Amino acid sequence: MIRKPIITILGHVDHGKTLYLDRIRGTAIAEREAGAITQHIGATEVPIRVIRELAGDLLEKYKFKIELNGLLFIDTPGHEAFTNLRKRGGSIADLAVLVIDINQGIQPQTIESIDILRIFKVPFIVLLNKIDKLPGWISGYGSITNGLKLQNESVLQELDKRLYEIVGTLYEKGFQAERFDRVSDFTKQLPIIPISAKTSEGLAETLLFLAGLSQRYMEKKLTIQVSGPGKGTVLEVKEEKG
């Protein structure tokens, strides 16, 4: 039996991690949280049917055959006061999503998150969020694969300029990265997916790549024996007095 891969979401405060998850689960938790900062670790299960519905014809385009029964996301706080929570989230993850605001670029907690992922040897993908705020960006409200076709040349050049600045910083940290549709070897290069958590652009590609890469390269790790003893990790304990 293949279990759901555990995926942690990391990044700097207000770069859009929780809003990205909201687009998946159809809730408005981000708007309800105090100061728009996540103060606990939440978990979100994404069934395989949701991934297939969102991906549509992208499954064929990117040659992913998905047999997993879903994905399990952990929403890790991004504020600097919650460093220990971020480390806990990183320690149990099979995969990670690093969210970066394309307009702000790499920030202190982004660097910290990259260091955590390197220490725990967690493979990850990068989401460049808030592309809808790029000057001249035309929102397609769908897959970013199709959305890129709507943009004029100057917008695409600006996107690449900002994207490859981040590629350069990742290289300095010891990681090779490339735009998702230009990756030649997923075992050596991190895919970078431009997204908008606000408009849901890129959501389909994110889920598809997470599921597809999990199955293609981590099937042995995700295979469990249902007849054997179970084990788990306690992420959060809340003490109530009285």
How much is the pTM?
A: 0.83
In 3D space, the residue among 89, 88, 206, 191 whose CA is nearest the CA of residue 142 turns out to be 206
Per CATH, the architecture of 6-222 is what? 3-Layer(aba) Sandwich (3.40)
pLDDT band at 62 (very low <50, low <70, confident <90, very high): confident
Domain residue extents for the chain: 6-222
Q: What is the mean pLDDT of residues 201-222?
A: 84
Residue 227 has pLDDT above 80, yes or no: no
Alpha helices, DSSP H only, in 120-238?
144-147, 153-172, 203-222
Q: Read off the pLDDT of residues 76-93 as tens digits, 9 standing for 90 and up.
A: 654 444 455 556 655 677
- The least confident of 56-70, 192-206, 213-227 is 213-227
Please state, for a pLDDT cut of 70, what percent of the chain lies above it: 81
Most confident listed range (13-22, 77-86, 125-134): 125-134
Mean per-residue pLDDT, 192-196 = 95
pLDDT, greater one: 116 or 42 = 116
- Cα 220 from Cα 233, distance rounded (Å): 20
Return all residues near 195 (Cβ < 8 A) that are at least 6 apart. Answer: 20, 127, 128, 129, 131, 144, 201, 202, 203, 205, 206
Q: Report the Cα 138 to chain-centroid distance in Å.
A: 23
CA distance to 50, 59, 115, 147, 228, per residue, from 211 (Å): 11, 11, 24, 21, 25
Kindly report the three-state secondary structure assignment for every residue of 23-71: HHHCCCHHHHCHHHCCCCCEEEEEEHHHHHHHHCCHHHHCCCCCCCCEE
What average pLDDT does the chain have? 81
pLDDT of residue 81: 41
- Residue 38: what pLDDT? 42
